[in-house]
Structure 1
Amino acid sequence: MRAVTSFRASAKDRNLVDDEVSYYGVVKRILELDYVVFKQIVFYCDWVHIEDKTNGCIVDPDTNLIFVNLGRFMRNTSEVDEPFILAFEAKQVFYCRDLSRDNWHVVLDAPKRLTQEIYRCLRIPTTL
């Protein structure tokens, strides 16, 4: 998901800077909230430590690929750590395991539309 988040340059910095950031996670539960007049789908997620450039999320400067550590998720222990997002806020990505490092995965954007070639590769009937 993409969200606007406030950042500090350092712990001593009192000036917050807002920036749009991509958050990466894994959906753990899908919930349908029924308010009688309308229903809302929410995802309960485990989130990657995007601010931790050593153990969470890094961008390879040579390839510009994004790597995330799916072995170390944020724990939703603070009031500001929100595990829920609305379904329409989510964007599907795929994680491809990095064989050179444990628990690290490359983030791959999902195709916008499934083509006939993708259906053949996945062996999915095209009559869906």
Structure 2
Amino acid sequence: MARLYVLQNSGIVESYEEKHKVEPERQDPRNVPKRHAKEFSRWFEKQIKEMRHHQRETTSDDLYSLACGPLSRVSRYSACIVNGIRFHTKERERNRRAQNSGVLVKGESEDYYGVLTDIIELRYLLGRQVFLFKCDWFDVRSGIHKDTYFTSVNVASRAYKNEPFVLANQAKQCFYVKDNKLQGTWEVVQDITNRSSFDVLEVEVEAGVEDEILNAPAYQENEPSIVDRVVEADLDMDPFPLNRGDLESEFLMLK
């Protein structure tokens, strides 16, 4: 199941998925989605291996490694750092004061909320690897409440038990606090931007000026800076997200 999830959530195989769906539909139009899910990974592996054999230069190492599937050895972790953000499994933080197990996945029409229960590393040929988060997901169809200011979830209402995985780089971190209004098993979702994550706008600098800036000596003023007034500025920051979406994810596994 984990292998199929990785395949279906890798943009480089989308065209192969569409191509494969034609075959089971041509053979028998009944239960096409089920048969596609069962047969696709093996079909995809066969297609890429044949292409690798006959047209090696057109088959990237990433595609070949992915098609061959993960190695038999799988590693599990209770904590990791993804793009500078620390995640713990729910079990690891059981006796800790800090909460790092909340997971939020942004969807096209709906956001999904859950808690992290396992961190799995799949290893592939040629040194490739993929990290999966296994989560307990809350039911956002019936176990969610939104008002003007807050979003609350019913943590006793679970769903998607057959689809527990998410790619680690798809996950954002969130926190859950008791909902004093709804009470019971309802908790308010705190969706925040981590203090260490920023988007810094890149500005082009004229040739020669950049070297002057980089080579300028560092200095420290003898007198402390004093702010004697605060000027309010009407700045619209919405178009500038405080996270980088153009860089590959970085992972650090913790014992």
TM-score, structure 2 normalization: 0.33
1:28 and 2:132 aligned? no
Aligned to 1:125: none
Structure 2 counterpart SS, 1:88: helix
Structure that is richer in strand per residue: 1
Where in structure 2 are the equivalents of 1:31-110 lying within 5 Å?
Answer: 31-37=120-126, 38-52=128-142, 56-60=143-147, 63-74=148-159, 76=161, 81-100=162-181, 101-110=183-192
Return the alpha-carbon distance in structure 1 between the equivalents of residues 107 and 160 of structure 2.
19
User: In 2, Cα distance between the equivalents of 1:92 and 1:45?
Assistant: 12
By how many angstroms is 1:2 displaced?
1.4
d(CA) in 1 for partners of 2:125 and 2:156? 39
How large is the RMSD of aligned CA atoms in angstroms? 1.9
Secondary structure of the corresponding residue to residue 195 of structure 2: coil
Larger Rg: 2
Mark the CA change 1:49 to 1:93 in structure 2 (over 3 Å): closer, same or farther.
Answer: same
Unaligned runs of 5+ in 2: 1-104, 198-255
What percentage of residue pairs aligned between the two structures are identical? Answer: 36
Equivalent residue in structure 1 for 2:193, among 97, 107, 111? 111
Equivalenced residues, count: 91
C-alpha separation between the residues in 2 aligned to 1:109 and 1:35? 33
Higher helix share: 2
The runs of at least 4 aligned residues of structure 1 exceeding 2 Å deviation read none
Gaps of 5+ in 1: 5-19, 116-128
SS at match of 1:24: strand
Give the letter aligned to residue 165 of structure 2: F
* Inter-partner Cα distance in structure 2 for 1:73 and 1:46: 7
